[in-house]
Amino acid sequence: MSEMMWTEKYRPRTLDEIVNQEEIVSRLKHFVKTKDFPHLLFAGPPGTGKTTAILAFARDLFGKYFEENFLELNASDERGIDIIRTRVKDFARTRAIGDVPVKIIALDEADNMTADAQQALRRTMEKYTRTARFCLICNYSSKIIEPIQSRCAVFRFSPLKDEDIAKRLKWIAEQEDVNLTEDGVQAILYVAEGDMRRAINILQAASALGTTVNSETVYKVTGRARPEEVREMINLALSGKFIEARKKLYELLITYGLSGSDIVRQIHREIYNLNIPEEWKVKLAEYTGDIDFRLSEGAHEDIQLSALLAHFALAGTQMRKGDKIG
């Protein structure tokens, strides 16, 4: 088995290989055809193909001159004003090689750039527009200053569909001779939440435990509790079995090594799958959010998680009595 990270080994190389972002791919293909495009701003959740899209776009545009005409920087490491004034400016001021009008400079994690660096970048984007185009890649476009946003065509990436992730995972497993079971696929989809990069990393990590990747190995390597076990704990609390629910909580914490925040996030996710009236789902979500905030402020995990289960137990009692939410 190759030691190379599978996220890099199986990264799509061209725009035609990218899935689930049809509108974005269509617009980028038009830019390749006309060889004329503005500065770009790619925004969206992690693992949805933002970096892959600009790499594929640049390869389709530049062909054999890709290396000479494309510069990628990770702004979380190289985000100071000196980088913009030196390395970026030096690359931008020279003309592109080959039958293309401009070079491309991709700044990954651009929302981590300092305010001064963004101001310097704005001026550089203006000054070298004849020789270079910039692509800013970020999770939160709101963290990019307005003058830069107004100079860019914005592309918003959405989380990938489960069926597209599943298809890619099965193909990778086939290439790597890994036995990936259907329940393993579903477990990866549950944990990844639309993040293709995370899904592939989980598959690679789980495959290291053996040739078969099933739900058991997936939850083991990710340190996540099985959703059905979390659901069982919630239902115990709602049915008034508070002590049993608390024992189940400790069992999950010890078995999977979860932190308080981890278990709260899984509880929050399972609330919406419960067979209870919607107004009670709203109330339970409110309780869960309150506990999550307290944990983030440094409150004691044991006390807060017990309090959350107590809220669920009291809510279950009120539901059985037919009481309305006060």
Average the pLDDT over 63-73 and give the result: 92
Q: What are the tokens at 80?
A: 């100071």
What is the pTM for the complete model shown?
Answer: 0.81
For the chain, which residues make up each domain, given as ranges? 6-156, 162-222, 227-321
Alpha carbon distance, N-terminus to C-terminus of the chain: 59
So what's the architecture of 6-156 in CATH? 3-Layer(aba) Sandwich (3.40)
The pLDDT, as a whole number, for residue 2 is 46
Nearest to 187 by CA among 164, 162, 209, 211: 162
Residue 172 pLDDT > 70, yes or no? yes
Residue 295 pLDDT > 90, yes or no? yes
Residue 325 pLDDT > 70, yes or no? no
Cα separation of 59 and 46, whole Å?
A: 22
The conformational region for residue 106 under phi > 0 = left, psi -120 to 50 = alpha, else beta, is beta
Residue 79 pLDDT > 60, yes or no? no
Q: How far is CA 305 from CA 22, 138, 208, 253, 261, in A?
A: 43, 34, 33, 11, 9
Cβ atoms of residues 71 and 104 within 8 Å: yes
Question: What's the CA angle centered on 209, arms 205 and 215, to 5 degrees?
Answer: 75
Burial class (CB in 10 A: 0-12, 13-18, 19+), 3: exposed
The pLDDT tens digits for 252-283 are 888 777 888 889 999 999 999 899 999 999 99
Question: What's the CA angle centered on 198, arms 194 and 199, to 5 degrees?
Answer: 70
Average the pLDDT over 77-92 and give the result: 72
Other C-beta atoms within 10 Å of 295: how many? 19
Residue 300 pLDDT > 50, yes or no? yes
The pLDDT, as a whole number, for residue 205 is 93
The pLDDT tens digits for 97-117 are 988 999 999 999 888 888 888
Other C-beta atoms within 10 Å of 59: how many? 17
Q: In this structure, is the dihedral angle defined by the CA atoms of residues 295, 299, 302 and 305, taken in order, positive or negative?
A: negative
Cβ atoms of residues 41 and 147 within 8 Å: no
Of residues 313 and 5, which shows the higher confidence score? 313
The pLDDT tens digits for 304-322 are 999 999 999 999 999 888 7
162-222: CATH topology: Helicase, Ruva Protein; domain 3 (1.10.8)
Question: What's the CA angle centered on 293, arms 288 and 299, to 5 degrees?
Answer: 105
Cα separation of 274 and 217, whole Å?
A: 26
The pLDDT, as a whole number, for residue 244 is 95
The DSSP result for 23-61, as a single string, is HHHHHHHHHHHHT---EEEEE-STTSSHHHHHHHHHHHH
Q: What are the tokens at 71?
A: 């510069």
- 227-321 to CATH, choices 3.40.50.1100, 1.20.272.10, 1.10.357.10, 1.10.540.10: 1.20.272.10
Residue with tokens 């617009």: 27
Average pLDDT, the chain: 89
Residue 135 main-chain phi, psi, to 5 deg: -125, 115
Cβ atoms of residues 104 and 133 within 8 Å: yes
Q: What are the tokens at 318?
A: 């009120």
Q: What are the tokens at 121?
A: 């970048």
Q: What percent of the chain has pLDDT over 90?
A: 64
The pLDDT, as a whole number, for residue 86 is 75
The pLDDT tens digits for 175-206 are 999 999 999 999 999 999 889 999 999 999 99
Cα separation of 165 and 188, whole Å?
A: 9
pLDDT tier at 324, thresholds 50, 70, 90:
low
